[in-house]
């Protein structure tokens, strides 16, 4: 199964309004004043190797500068409950890939802002730039100039910290669920109910149901005890309409699970045939997958 956090994070931060409001709420004002965030665009590029796909999500945005040029924001979301001490060297690798991608797709380099979104249980103490990874006191100052360096924009979402502040209701609830997702059951139940109650503030019923659906899908992926938080007594008394959509979401989840299983089996078949040197036409015929599907899943 795809990592539990990835579809949720990628889903709401692929939305232009949510992405705009997220960066407005997380970047320093001295940076946001330079950016035209209302014109932000998400690229389709990812620079994470397969060995880190289960623990990270990356998103690359292009945003115009008010000066007339443009910049990129590279958002790296750490899924793990603890940070990886090698993150700076891995970020260096990702940035190198991005700049190489730029040289292949445009005439000149465009600045990239490395943005790390961390919500691990262990507090971040790795510093805010690559140079912090070096024992500078043991290195002669004359040699410091040879140390590769770049800063990161760190956003740490602490479980026991303050909720993310934004006027975007959907974004506020999504961020809150990420924040509490690893809480012990008793605490999680109380905080989750608060999220459901806050959801009533959304006046557009269709939007309210969309938000609920996204919250529940993430909950079901991210917690092994998710079922107990979908029980009627937790939601009952908050809003009757939730109950109908819960049944529908559960039913869709069964169908989605079946389709995911069928896709996985087809991909395994295609991968095996590709390794055995079978023709593309034969792979498509026996796996039932299209050429686009084969490309999207890295088989072609």
Tens digit of each residue's pLDDT (9 = 90 or more) over 53-91: 667 889 999 999 999 999 999 999 987 777 788 899 999
* Structural domains of the chain, count: 3
Asked if 224 and 282 sit in the same domain, the reply is no
In this model, does residue 204 exceed pLDDT 90?
no
Asked if 41 and 58 sit in the same domain, the reply is yes
Which one, of 20, 24, 25, lies nearest residue 38 by Cα? 20
Tens of pLDDT, residues 26-36: 999 999 999 99
Asked if 235 and 269 sit in the same domain, the reply is no
What's the mean pLDDT in 250-268?
A: 59
Q: Is residue 105 part of a domain?
A: yes
Q: Is residue 161 part of a domain?
A: no
pTM: 0.77
Asked if 13 and 148 sit in the same domain, the reply is yes
Please state, in angstroms and rounded to a whole number, the distance separating the CA atoms of residues 28 and 35: 11
pLDDT category of residue 1 using cuts at 50, 70 and 90: very low
Residue where a domain stops, chosen among 156, 190, 205:
156
Which range of residues forms the domain containing residue 171?
166-239
pLDDT category of residue 240 using cuts at 50, 70 and 90: low
Asked if 5 and 152 sit in the same domain, the reply is yes
Asked if 114 and 223 sit in the same domain, the reply is no
Residue where a domain stops, chosen among 156, 183, 198:
156
SS3 50: helix
Question: Is the alpha carbon torsion for 120, 121, 127, 131 positive or negative?
Answer: negative
What's the mean pLDDT in 146-174?
A: 94
Asked if 28 and 139 sit in the same domain, the reply is yes
Q: Is residue 222 part of a domain?
A: yes
Asked if 202 and 290 sit in the same domain, the reply is no
Asked if 124 and 14 sit in the same domain, the reply is yes
Angle at 262 between CA 270 and CA 225, to 5 degrees: 130
Q: Is residue 183 part of a domain?
A: yes
Q: Which residue carries 């045939």 as its tokens? A: 273
Q: Which residue carries 């459901």 as its tokens? A: 196
Mean pLDDT of the chain: 84
Asked if 201 and 285 sit in the same domain, the reply is no
In this model, does residue 13 exceed pLDDT 80?
yes
What pLDDT, on a 0 to 100 scale, did the predictor assign at position 2?
40
Asked if 150 and 226 sit in the same domain, the reply is no
Q: Is residue 3 part of a domain?
A: yes
* Percent of the chain with pLDDT strictly greater than 90: 48
Residue where a domain stops, chosen among 156, 189, 218:
156
And the tokens for 168? 């975007």
Asked if 34 and 151 sit in the same domain, the reply is yes
- CA 127 to chain CA centroid, Å, is 22
């Amino acid at each position: 199964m795809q990592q539990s956090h990835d579809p949720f994070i990628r889903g709401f931060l692929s939305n232009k309004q949510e992405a705009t409001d997220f960066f407005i709420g997380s970047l320093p004002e001295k940076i946001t004043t330079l950016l035209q965030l209302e014109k932000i665009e998400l690229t389709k590029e990812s620079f994470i190797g397969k060995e880190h796909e289960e623990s990270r999500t990356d998103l690359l945005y292009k945003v115009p500068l008010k000066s007339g040029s443009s910049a990129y924001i590279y958002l790296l979301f750490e899924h793990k409950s603890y940070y990886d001490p090698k993150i700076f060297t891995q970020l260096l690798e990702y940035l190198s890939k991005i700049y190489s991608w730029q040289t292949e797709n445009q005439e000149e380099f465009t600045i990239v802002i490395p943005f790390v979104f961390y919500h691990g249980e262990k507090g971040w103490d790795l510093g805010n730039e690559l140079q912090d990874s070096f024992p500078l006191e043991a290195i002669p100052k004359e040699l410091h100039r040879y140390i590769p360096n770049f800063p990161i924009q760190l956003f740490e979402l602490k479980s026991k910290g303050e909720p993310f502040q934004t006027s975007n209701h959907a974004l506020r609830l999504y961020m809150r669920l990420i924040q509490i997702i690893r809480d012990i059951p008793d605490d999680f139940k109380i905080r989750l109910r608060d999220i459901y109650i806050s959801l009533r503030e959304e006046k557009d019923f269709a939007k309210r149901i969309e938000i609920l659906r996204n919250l529940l899908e993430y909950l079901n992926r991210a917690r092994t005890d998710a079922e107990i938080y979908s029980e009627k007594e937790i939601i009952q008394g908050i809003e009757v309409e939730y109950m109908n959509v819960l049944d529908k979401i559960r039913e869709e989840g069964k169908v989605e699970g079946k389709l995911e299983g069928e896709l996985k089996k087809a991909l395994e078949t295609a991968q095996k045939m590709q390794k055995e040197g079978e023709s593309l036409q034969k792979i498509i015929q026996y796996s039932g997958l299209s050429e686009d599907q084969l490309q999207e899943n890295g088989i072609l």
